[in-house]
Amino acid sequence: MIRYAYLWTHEADVGAEEGRKDRPCAVVLALTRAEGAVEVVVAPITSSAPARDADGVEVPAETRRRLGLQDAPCWVVLTEVNRFAWPGPDLRPVESVTGPVWSHGLLPARLFGRVRDTVVARARARTLRAVLRPE
């Protein structure tokens, strides 16, 4: 999980090029292109409950505490993603007890698998919205 200036699809649809808020995001996929460049797909984490249960997965309280997230419930959004060349200009450091780091930590394997599998299935079904971020 990283901290990233996520650009929501509804913001991109009206011409925004920068995310308004740095937020935690789950790294869903990392793809190495033929030329060696790495492209990353991230899903945002938000405190807003999804309209439908299938549109997000709640991050368990224990995981939120371990990753240094807020105490209030939060969800990984499964309906949209940002794609960008790694590391990209919108990656933000995460404050930790030892100083700034580049990751909150890892999602539990089962939670990550559910997020990854749902995002991949939606991409294949062409129901996943994606914002391609410039380098």
pLDDT in tens, 5-37: 999 999 999 999 999 999 999 999 999 998 999
pLDDT of residue 24: 97
Residue 100 corresponds to which amino acid? P
pLDDT of residue 98: 81
Average pLDDT along the chain:
95
pLDDT of residue 99: 81
Give the model's confidence band at 102: pLDDT under 50 very low, under 70 low, under 90 confident, else very high.
Answer: confident
Percent of the chain with pLDDT over 70: 100
Domain containing 10 — which CATH number? 2.30.30.110
Give the model's confidence band at 96: pLDDT under 50 very low, under 70 low, under 90 confident, else very high.
Answer: confident
pLDDT of residue 5: 97
Which residue range(s) make up the domain with 86? Answer: 2-132
Contact 93, 3 (CB under 8 A): yes
61, 62, 77, 81, 99 from 29: Cα distances, Å: 24, 24, 15, 10, 27
Q: What number of other Cβ atoms are within 10 A of residue 38's Cβ? A: 13
Q: Does residue 76 have a pLDDT over 90? A: yes
pLDDT of residue 73: 98
pLDDT of residue 95: 83
Q: In the chain, which residue ranges form alpha helices assigned H by DSSP? A: 9-13, 61-67, 109-124
Report how many domains make up the chain: 1
